[in-house]
Chains A and B, each alone.
Chain A
Amino acid sequence: MDKSSLKRTRMRYRRERRFKLFCLSALVLAGIILVVFFADIISKGYTAFWQAQIKVEASYTQDVKEMPFLAVGEEVSELVSRSWFRGLPRKLNQNPELLGTSQTQWVLADGAVDQYLKDKPNGLSQKEKDLVDRLQEQDRTRLAFNTYFFVNGDSNLPESSGIFSAAVGTVYVMIVTMAFSLPTGVLTAIYLEEFAQDNWLTRSIEVNINNLAAIPSILYGLLGLAIFINYVGIPRSSALAGGLTLGLMSLPIIIISSRAALRAVPDSIREAAFGVGASRWQVVAHHVLPMSIPGILTGSIIALAQAMGETAPLLLVGMMAFIPDAPSGFTDAATVMPAQIYTWSSAALRPYAERTAAAILVLLAVLILLNLTAVLLRKRYERKW
């Protein structure tokens, strides 16, 4: 081999290595982004799972019913959350035996105190900071597990706001979504795969479904607003309006995955059933459908996860309202987890930022769990024919 061709070969090999490195670095970059993303959200959100509390000497005199602020000493009353004071009159009315007694107890601290104890920017004055420091030395402050976050609804006080009403709203919306889209989607898939003849109508329905799958979600919001709310008259912000909108949105996903599951059942099974005299519906209901249930379930869970994380169409049907109490029906005003995240992220008060990140963590955990279930289901029941 002469020198120049040797040189060229070397150059080509160098180029080969460079290209491979290039491609690998793209993959690594995607991985790094994923890690940075999760690290960022976790580092912002994990502190919200602990909440500051202050030990106070609360004396329940008759006056407290009128002016709850009197329950604790004037000095610390600035540091205690106003939500605790708000609840006092009712608590005393329900438990009259408490009147006239006094208790030493841990109560929820103000949001600013909470942020100060977590070394985050806060609105405390120097005097208040000194006071908190003094309380800390006396072991009268602590960061306890934040149960409020899971049992409270939204609130205009960051320290007592939680995800409960949003979580219940999400459950309601998902019930409507799945109750609508799962049967409709599976029936459509059965029709297209097993019953429909191959004619222009069927083909145009297929094209239509594929197009629906690619329509931006916000346009479903426009549909929900114009038709469900303005025309049919379903109450705005209700779980019913949101659920139906999301149901239409997840319909194409369910149809496409169910069709794939039905198609995966080999024809020999159908032919055997026809051979012993089964009708078309009997073939489907007794043989094809049971065999494709794992595939249909997998697709449905993925559609559910997608619908659960969707926000844009729900904003348009009004599901970003301030909802402090969990909805008790399908037509009540409700909000959902992603909408709650959106509302909190645009709130001006700083302590909401960590709650936003914490709500994101909860949502992501649920979604990843759902997707994992789908993957495991597919692995466990996947059949090769």
Chain B
Amino acid sequence: MTLEYLVLLFCGGLIPLAYAAHYLGRRRAVADMRQGERLNSPPSFYGWYVIVWMFLPALAASAVFAVLQMVGVLSVPLPVVLVGFLVLVAGGAWLGLHRVHASLRARKIVEGVIRWLLFIATCISIFTTVGIVLSVIFEAIKFFNMVSFWEFITGTTWSPGSAFLEGAGRGGEQATEAQFGSVPIFAGTFMITFIAMCVALPVGLLAAIYMAEYAGQTLRGVAKPALEVLAGIPTVVYGFFAAITVSPLVVRLAESIGLEAAYTNALAPGMVMGIMIIPFISSLSDDVISSIPQSLREGSFALGTTRSETVKQVVLPAAFPGIVSAFLLAVSRALGETMIVVMAAGLRPNLTWNPLEGMTTVTVRIVDALTGDLAFDSAETLSAFALGLTLLAVTLVLNVISAVVIRRFKQQYEM
């Protein structure tokens, strides 16, 4: 049975059934009311009450059943399941309908069910976090069973070498030992992030200062949407721009001053990533700068300072925590950015200070390891999860620091 069929069944079968149940429950309540009894709740809640009775037992049963099926305790052919489900639905509806009477506190009961529904929806966000953490940790543990944690953190050579052959089912043919030292990968990541921040921080911050302190309404009205457009461009598009336009440009410029640059140099993806982050930094800093109380500026002007002196000596120091927090968020975004580096940076881990050489990043290695044809339990595939775990840890730490800093800042100015 396909998914489409299930969706069709749901829309075509259950929704009309629910509608009928609602109608019957409501009619029963209204009939009681006609006989002069006082209803406890508005009539439509009795209808909902029947719907709850109709679906709750059936859904609970099918959830238990699905779990059992997945664990493999029992397997029942689908038609039987379907019939059982329908019997439960009908039985529930019948029971619910018989419980409807005027003094039933339908509203309170239905409300309680709704509350639980909302709570379950809320829990999905927690499950997502738990899911991400667990899926990364479990596979990472498998990886660290093969490769020592210490070697992963401090090793300076990354050459999956024979791990690739093992993954392809030809282990032992060529006995070059696989090495998983992640230092060159992280070096590349930090190099590209550093270049990105060198572009994004000055441009973004100065643009934010201009918009918050100097610009009139018209300029703001044009510049803000323009920056939002820049923020809405998909990263795959930036990646294309970096690989097709900026990289060759960097190579040609380097040649013209007598330097040699690889087409997978770190400078091009770094700069384009910086461009991507400009709107992020500028809008966050703009918010922070605008939230500095006007009285601070007026106090400074009263001492006879010029606007730039006020900005440099009063506004920026006051906004500093907020700007730091924006900066940290931007760094965490640059570290996790994938498409730009996948398309424009290199694949080969390379430990170097020269941004004109090709180097690779954590996200590139993850994509490269997981989009190949390797067996899922090969060391190289699993290394992606170890790298993912590190990435997750670093971004979480950055986010938490940033959140703490911004909370202090907000308390200070009672935003």
Contact = CB atoms under 8 A, between A and B. Distances in A.
Interface stretch (A32-40, A106-114, A117-125): A32-40
A184 B329 contact: no
A311 B404 CA distance: 31
B180 to A, nearest CB: 17
Interface in B227-263: 227-230, 232-237, 239-241, 243-245
B391 A219 contact: yes
Interface stretch (B148-156, B161-169, B305-313, B349-357): B305-313
A375 B136 CA distance: 37
A30 B203 contact: yes
Interface residues on B, range: 35 or more
A356 B240 contact: yes
A342 B245 CA distance: 15
Interface of A: 12-13, 15-16, 19-20, 22-27, 29-31, 33-34, 37, 40-41, 44, 183-184, 187-188, 190-192, 195-196, 205, 207-212, 214-223, 225-227, 230, 240, 248, 251-252, 255, 279-281, 305-306, 308-312, 315-316, 318, 320, 329-331, 338, 341-342, 345-346, 353, 356-357, 360, 363-364, 367-368, 371, 375
A357 B225 CA distance: 23
Secondary structure class of chain B's binding surface, majority of residues: helix
Nearest to B274: A33
Given A34-B230, A220-B132, A342-B339, A15 B306 contact: yes
9 closest Cβ pairs, A-B complex: A216-B336, A309-B234, A226-B135, A26-B206, A187-B121, A19-B308, A23-B210, A191-B118, A312-B338
A364 B48 CA distance: 44
B209 A23 contact: yes
Nearest to A207: B403
Nearest to B42: A282
Contacts of B138: 226
Given A24-B210, A30-B282, A331 B124 contact: no
20 contacts: A19-B312, A29-B203, A187-B122, A195-B118, A211-B396, A215-B395, A222-B132, A222-B388, A279-B107, A280-B111, A308-B234, A309-B232, A310-B235, A312-B235, A316-B370, A342-B342, A345-B343, A360-B240, A367-B232, A367-B233
B58 interface: no
A385 B138 CA distance: 50
A345 B4 contact: no
B3 A331 contact: yes
A242 to B, nearest CB: 14
B172 to A, nearest CB: 27
Contacts of A190: 118
Nearest to B279: A30
A214 B243 contact: no
B129 A363 contact: no
Interface of B: 2-4, 107-108, 110-111, 114-115, 117-119, 121-122, 124-126, 128-129, 131-132, 135-136, 138-139, 202-207, 209-211, 213-215, 223, 225-230, 232-237, 239-241, 243-245, 275, 278-279, 282, 306-309, 311-312, 329, 332-333, 335-339, 342-343, 363, 366-367, 370-371, 376, 384-385, 388, 391-392, 395-396, 399-400, 403
A353 B240 CA distance: 10
A20 B219 CA distance: 14
Nearest to A375: B225
A234 to B, nearest CB: 9
Nearest to B210: A23
Contact of A184 (B121, B131, B229): B121
A368 B2 contact: no
Contacts of A218: 336, 338, 363, 366-367, 388, 391
B44 to A, nearest CB: 10
B138 to A, nearest CB: 7
B367 A316 contact: yes
B339 A27 contact: no
B121 A27 contact: no
Nearest to A26: B206
B235 A248 contact: no
Contacts of B126: 205, 208
Contact of B307 (A20, A306, A360): A20
